[in-house]
Chains A and B, each alone.
Chain A
Amino acid sequence: MIYDIRHVTTYSYESPVSYARCSLRLEPRSGDGQELISHRVEVRPKPVERTTRRDFFGTLTESIVIEAAHRHLRIDSTSRVAVARSVPGRAADSPAWESVRDAAFAATSLGPSSPVGYVFASALVPVLSPVTAYAAMSFPVGQGVLASAAELMHRIRTEFRYEPKATVISTPLHEVFAKRHGVCQDFAHVMIAGLRGLGLPAAYVSGYLRTIPPPGQPHLQGADATHAWVSLWCGEALGWIGFDPTNDLLVANDHIILGIGRDFADVSPVDGIIVGSPKQRLGVAVDVVPVA
């Protein structure tokens, strides 16, 4: 499957901003069952400085500096990505979850794909005993990691309410968990917290989801959004497998990966600091269009 993706981020400020320094993580990655064909980012106003590097997690990170006074910032990202993943069934054979945990603890690499980097609490995902206990109900002794994680994902999908306005980026995990509602990002964080509490390596994935319009209706421009889900290391043989708790789906060819990290803080697509206006309005529009 090949997708054309347009991802436009706009900021409007109440008063002029004289300086901005931003990090952009907008390039879909190559690997993990997808291939980047083309990618371009346009920024208005024009930055005085643009430098790119790969961060620790392998995500292309672009640093931009804007020194011209501005009230609007527009970051327009266009990508074409080919996706071809094979996904095991939920009931497929997988190692007992305890053995996955022990293998992760015994890892001998600190690299970005080593499971050991994803078993500890991170900036936005604390390990909390109530969340661990919640997750543990899906992990009876000796059960396969895949089936257990799929059940946990299913429980989050059915027991948490999706409420787009319920949370803001800074809502702490314990609050999301207590109120049992949130958005894709919150569900991903909750599932990660539960898995890590059990000692299982869980990563946060940001990206896009192809949405399929209701039959007979055209695909609406800008109707899509950025999405987030979970990647779980299921042992040496199976490797990393994507779980989307918002949709109760194992990640296949409808998901396009932008970045992988420990939580949202590692992969935030647009991040930065400005000097000037404290009041700002953010707009995000995403289009995911299958072309082939």
Chain B
Amino acid sequence: MAEVTGSEAGQGDSQAGGQAAAKARPGQRRVAHWMRDYVRLPGIPDEYIADDGTPRGVWSRFFDAFANLAPSDIERRFAAADRHLREAGVTYRAPGESAERLWPLSHLPLLIDEADWQLLSAGIAQRAQLLELVLRDLYGEGRLIAEGAIPAAAIAGSAEYLRPICGLKPPGGRYLSLYAADVGRGPDGRWWVLGDRTQAPSGAGYALENRLVLSRAFASLYKSMNVERVAPFFEAFRASLHRAADRDEPRIGVLSPGSFSETYFEQATLARYLGFLLVEGDDLAVSGDRVHIRTVAGLKRLDVLLRRVDSNSLDPLELDAASRLGVPGLIDVLRKNGVVVANMPGSGVLEARALLGFLPGLCRRLFGEELKMPHMATWWCGQKDAREEVLSRLDELAIESAYGRGVPGFESNGPVLAGELPPAERQRLASAITERGIDYVGQELVRLSTMPVWDQGRIVPRPFVLRVFAAATADGWTLMPGGFCRIAEQLDARAVTMGDGARAADVWVVSDKAVPATSLLPASDSVRIRRIAGVLPSRAADNLFWLGRYLERAEATLRLVRALGTQQRDPGKGSSAMQQAAERIQRLLVAWGAVSQTSRTQVAKVAAEALRSEPRFGSALSLLRAAQRTATSLRERLSPDAWQVITEMTTRLAHEIEDDDVVVSAAELTLQELASFAGLAQENMNRAAGWRFLEMGRRAERAINTARFARQFASDEASPEDLDVLLTLVDCQITYRSRYLVGPVLAPVRDLVVLDTYNPRSVAFQVEALNEHVASLPALRETGLIERPQRLAVALRGTLITAEAAALDGKTLFSLEQDLLTLADAIGLQYFPHGPNASRPEKLTGLA
């Protein structure tokens, strides 16, 4: 399951291109039909229709090829793309929301022709280098400020100007490793920069995912269009982070704010694609002059952090003291050159709008040339001339914060349009600008250019913003050919964020010539062979262990539900022995929190509640949701198949079920899916530490549940009906019958269920497996003494080997269950980050 997502190149569907000539006419008619409402908006450039009213070359080529697909085929491919997104669980979270949303991908890509792209990339590369040099000076010598090229106030106002970074040489030699710019086509038809992203740009992972989906759905179209590949960009970026470290085979982590971050999915995608560890602040610890990651084998040095945590949250000791996302002491390690952080903390200062107006001058000063790409005209009101310009044209301009989000004194996250304010508010804005001009900028209102978007059988123009990415590599700035495109649903779009329900689109940079498919595969002799992907972080181990436990507990609950439901259909259900057995099942379900005490009057209701009750934390649905949440934090380690199985199970159980028969069949289907998840783990997961923790969770939980079942249904007073239920619950009916020609008898049943090491469902079998796993985990102490989990496991094994079935009374089984719980806890204490061995740092109380 720990496979890495493959290359973007799809395969299959070769029929489309070959029949192009024959279908040309109806195809063109079809395009014309789709385009019936497509009009260029007055005064705004369009990607498809050029200024002279004719379609642009790349788009004509695309639609010609696109029209060759049969309409039903197109629908099928669109549906395939949507399905892939759903199944792979591509999601994002809107600001302030806790639920993840499905990724809305537009079905048509944005096309950019090669020549146009060259212009754009030259402009972006120049800008990235300019910003790097400005950062170097700001945090270094400070000549640009001293000589008046940048007003000091334009920097000092930014919360991202980090004083602890001043004078600190960036380990790895640079401030920006990844730079992104939001661009749009301006009224003059050229590409314009709308904003710079220098802090921790997001979107590259989504771009990757979009490419994967679209290139698969339209494989031959994608191939025939000569689309530049994005893989070499990521390869170059990875290589440059490797080079930044000061040892061979460095350990690199993507520092995430955690699974509640808006873009957690894409952080996981990136980590997985680049082969980096996905880590959170809690996973890291400063020791000596280095940053280390807590792993199941103890602390291991981390060389490079690609951060998705904002600078101010990185170190509670030197930056925001309230932050829980960072690593205490991280800045001090930077000072000692002990870790590379990309981008360097403090790089975000260049996102301040106040600086935009100074960039053309800085470019002339530092490079002796003009800025190649224009940006939105911006006036910083901290200077008299600019302030007067803004005040005199107040109604035509958008007023923005000079440094961050939200215009000071006005409750809006976006720009304030003076022209739309009531007179009193407009006056308040004008006097605020007069008094504290340093806080404000005026910006030219930009209408974004439009591109073709598929909308229910029509193609319509929609405004878009394109985010392009540049990585600092050995050969200068390397651009991702393409990027992350967001489409606004309204025609009047001034700003687009995913939270507004905007769609995303893949971006195709289209070449005239064929594009080499695998241009950057490294030579085989430069790759060192390795069989294990690296150390397992403690938190991932913790999550895998609990994923195993939740899934196994869900399985046990489903088996109880199925047994209860099946029994109801049994003609002999009226007998008192059977009623007692049913009663025991219900008691177990209540004890597990799957069913409320009060609903025990109706058996059918109990089964349905245990299956899918939302409020009961122990219902199968709740357990599978818990498994899904845990799996969310393991995104980079789970294959899409595994994720898909979990998603399907929760989706099925979340549906309303009324009928008793449906309860049983839903339980059965879900049990089958659990088996297929187990099969995926068994057949596809590398036998590294991660697999062992998933297995240990599953084995420990199964042992505990089986011991408990045995205690309930194989006590000294157990009836044959009880024993029969037990054999069903642990799936041993067939085994039992093949060995014994009589009905269920106490001692043989106990032996089979608890002590028989040949039976993969017995307690003893689980304990054997746990022993093997525990023995092969790394020891944390160097004393040569056996550690606690192993001591407990070996003792349990001894107990089970020497036990006799006849003597396994309720008391013995209860203590067995307790010992198993202790073993599970001991594994947690030894290896997981939240045990007492590595507890969370607490802040010292400050002085009043």
- The smallest beta-carbon distance between B652 and chain A, in angstroms, is 42
Chain A 80-134 interface residues, beta-carbon cutoff 8 Å to B: 104-110, 114, 116-117, 119-120, 123, 127, 129
Check if A265 sits within 8 Å of B438, measured CB to CB.
Answer: no
**A269 to B328 alpha-carbon distance, docked (Å):** 17
Check if A110 sits within 8 Å of B156, measured CB to CB.
Answer: yes
Chain B 245-304 interface residues, beta-carbon cutoff 8 Å to A: 286
Chain A 179-201 interface residues, beta-carbon cutoff 8 Å to B: 183, 185, 197-199
The residues of B that contact A268 with a CB separation of less than 8 Å are: 846-847
Check if A273 sits within 8 Å of B317, measured CB to CB.
Answer: yes
In the complex, identify which listed stretch (A31-39, A208-216, A229-237, A274-282) lies at the interface while the others stay far away: A274-282
**A268 to B844 alpha-carbon distance, docked (Å):** 11
Chain B 828-845 interface residues, beta-carbon cutoff 8 Å to A: 838-845
The residues of A that contact B408 with a CB separation of less than 8 Å are: 127
Q: Does A272 contact B (CB under 8 A)?
A: yes
**A176 to B382 alpha-carbon distance, docked (Å):** 30
**A161 to B845 alpha-carbon distance, docked (Å):** 24
Check if B842 sits within 8 Å of A274, measured CB to CB.
Answer: yes
Q: Does B145 contact A (CB under 8 A)?
A: yes
**A53 to B437 alpha-carbon distance, docked (Å):** 36
- The smallest beta-carbon distance between B332 and chain A, in angstroms, is 6
- The smallest beta-carbon distance between B148 and chain A, in angstroms, is 6
Check if A106 sits within 8 Å of B436, measured CB to CB.
Answer: no
Q: Does B320 contact A (CB under 8 A)?
A: yes
**A284 to B847 alpha-carbon distance, docked (Å):** 8
Chain B 300-341 interface residues, beta-carbon cutoff 8 Å to A: 316-318, 320-321, 328-329, 332, 335
Check if B848 sits within 8 Å of A185, measured CB to CB.
Answer: yes
Find B153's partner among A63, A119, A127 (CB 8 Å cutoff): A119
**A197 to B163 alpha-carbon distance, docked (Å):** 22
The residues of A that contact B382 with a CB separation of less than 8 Å are: 105
Residue interface mask A13-44, B partner, CB < 8 A = 1: 00000011111000000000000000000000
- The smallest beta-carbon distance between B357 and chain A, in angstroms, is 16
Residue interface mask B505-520, A partner, CB < 8 A = 1: 0000000000000000
Which of B148, B156, B435 has the most C-beta atoms of chain A within 10 angstroms of its own C-beta? B156
Check if A116 sits within 8 Å of B842, measured CB to CB.
Answer: no
Q: Does A253 contact B (CB under 8 A)?
A: no
Check if A167 sits within 8 Å of B848, measured CB to CB.
Answer: yes
Find A21's partner among B321, B329, B845 (CB 8 Å cutoff): B329
Q: Does B748 contact A (CB under 8 A)?
A: no
**A189 to B194 alpha-carbon distance, docked (Å):** 37
The residues of A that contact B845 with a CB separation of less than 8 Å are: 11, 169, 280, 282
The residues of B that contact A107 with a CB separation of less than 8 Å are: 152-153
A56-B163, A127-B408 known; A169 vs B157 contact (CB < 8 Å) = no
Q: Does A175 contact B (CB under 8 A)?
A: no
A23-B317, A275-B839, A276-B839 known; A116 vs B152 contact (CB < 8 Å) = yes
Find B146's partner among A11, A23, A63, A108 (CB 8 Å cutoff): A108
Residue interface mask A53-66, B partner, CB < 8 A = 1: 10111000001000
**A264 to B157 alpha-carbon distance, docked (Å):** 18
Find A117's partner among B151, B156, B838 (CB 8 Å cutoff): B156
The residues of B that contact A198 with a CB separation of less than 8 Å are: 435
**A199 to B436 alpha-carbon distance, docked (Å):** 6
- The smallest beta-carbon distance between B158 and chain A, in angstroms, is 9
The residues of B that contact A282 with a CB separation of less than 8 Å are: 844-845, 847
The residues of B that contact A77 with a CB separation of less than 8 Å are: none
**A123 to B841 alpha-carbon distance, docked (Å):** 21
Q: Does B409 contact A (CB under 8 A)?
A: yes
The residues of A that contact B679 with a CB separation of less than 8 Å are: none
Check if B146 sits within 8 Å of A273, measured CB to CB.
Answer: no
Q: Does B31 contact A (CB under 8 A)?
A: no
Q: Does A226 contact B (CB under 8 A)?
A: yes
Q: Does B155 contact A (CB under 8 A)?
A: yes
Residue interface mask B408-451, A partner, CB < 8 A = 1: 11000000000000000000000000011110000000000000
Check if B847 sits within 8 Å of A119, measured CB to CB.
Answer: no
State how many residues of chain A have any CB contact under 8 Å with chain B. 53
- The smallest beta-carbon distance between B308 and chain A, in angstroms, is 22
Q: Does A68 contact B (CB under 8 A)?
A: no
Find B842's partner among A109, A129, A269, A278 (CB 8 Å cutoff): A278
Check if B848 sits within 8 Å of A116, measured CB to CB.
Answer: no
- The smallest beta-carbon distance between B139 and chain A, in angstroms, is 10
**A199 to B153 alpha-carbon distance, docked (Å):** 11
Check if B142 sits within 8 Å of A21, measured CB to CB.
Answer: no
Check if B436 sits within 8 Å of A116, measured CB to CB.
Answer: no
Q: Does B535 contact A (CB under 8 A)?
A: no
Q: Nearest chain-B residue to A184 (Cβ)?
A: B848
- The smallest beta-carbon distance between B781 and chain A, in angstroms, is 16
Q: Nearest chain-A residue to B336 (Cβ)?
A: A51
Q: Does A270 contact B (CB under 8 A)?
A: yes
A168-B848, A169-B846 known; A110 vs B409 contact (CB < 8 Å) = no
- The smallest beta-carbon distance between A224 and chain B, in angstroms, is 13
Check if B156 sits within 8 Å of A116, measured CB to CB.
Answer: yes
Q: Does B164 contact A (CB under 8 A)?
A: yes
**A12 to B158 alpha-carbon distance, docked (Å):** 38
Find A271's partner among B145, B321, B332, B838 (CB 8 Å cutoff): B321
Which of A21, A183, A277 has the most C-beta atoms of chain B within 10 angstroms of its own C-beta? A21
Q: Does A9 contact B (CB under 8 A)?
A: yes
Check if B145 sits within 8 Å of A108, measured CB to CB.
Answer: yes
Check if B316 sits within 8 Å of A273, measured CB to CB.
Answer: yes
A199-B435, A276-B839 known; A169 vs B316 contact (CB < 8 Å) = no
Q: Does B166 contact A (CB under 8 A)?
A: yes
The residues of A that contact B329 with a CB separation of less than 8 Å are: 21, 63
Q: Nearest chain-B residue to A9 (Cβ)?
A: B847
Check if B842 sits within 8 Å of A276, measured CB to CB.
Answer: yes
The residues of A that contact B437 with a CB separation of less than 8 Å are: 105
Q: Nearest chain-B residue to A165 (Cβ)?
A: B848
A55-B164, A265-B321, A270-B847 known; A110 vs B155 contact (CB < 8 Å) = yes
Check if B146 sits within 8 Å of A109, measured CB to CB.
Answer: yes
Find B841's partner among A109, A119, A127, A275 (CB 8 Å cutoff): A275
Q: Nearest chain-B residue to A7 (Cβ)?
A: B847
Check if B155 sits within 8 Å of A273, measured CB to CB.
Answer: no
A105-B382, A273-B328 known; A56 vs B164 contact (CB < 8 Å) = yes
The residues of B that contact A284 with a CB separation of less than 8 Å are: 847
Q: Nearest chain-B residue to A56 (Cβ)?
A: B163
Find A109's partner among B152, B164, B328, B436 (CB 8 Å cutoff): B152
- The smallest beta-carbon distance between B297 and chain A, in angstroms, is 20
**A23 to B408 alpha-carbon distance, docked (Å):** 33
The residues of B that contact A106 with a CB separation of less than 8 Å are: 151, 153
The residues of A that contact B146 with a CB separation of less than 8 Å are: 108-109
The residues of B that contact A114 with a CB separation of less than 8 Å are: 152, 156
Check if A120 sits within 8 Å of B320, measured CB to CB.
Answer: no
- The smallest beta-carbon distance between B256 and chain A, in angstroms, is 20
**A9 to B845 alpha-carbon distance, docked (Å):** 11
Check if A226 sits within 8 Å of B847, measured CB to CB.
Answer: yes
Q: Nearest chain-A residue to B320 (Cβ)?
A: A123
- The smallest beta-carbon distance between A86 and chain B, in angstroms, is 29
The residues of A that contact B318 with a CB separation of less than 8 Å are: 23
Q: A270-B847, A274-B841 are in contact. List 8 more A-B contacts (CB 8 A).
A: A20-B844, A22-B844, A23-B317, A23-B318, A109-B145, A116-B156, A119-B156, A278-B842
The contact sample of 14 A-B pairs, CB cut-off 8 A, is A11-B844, A19-B841, A21-B286, A23-B317, A108-B145, A108-B148, A109-B142, A109-B145, A110-B142, A169-B847, A198-B435, A273-B316, A278-B842, A280-B844
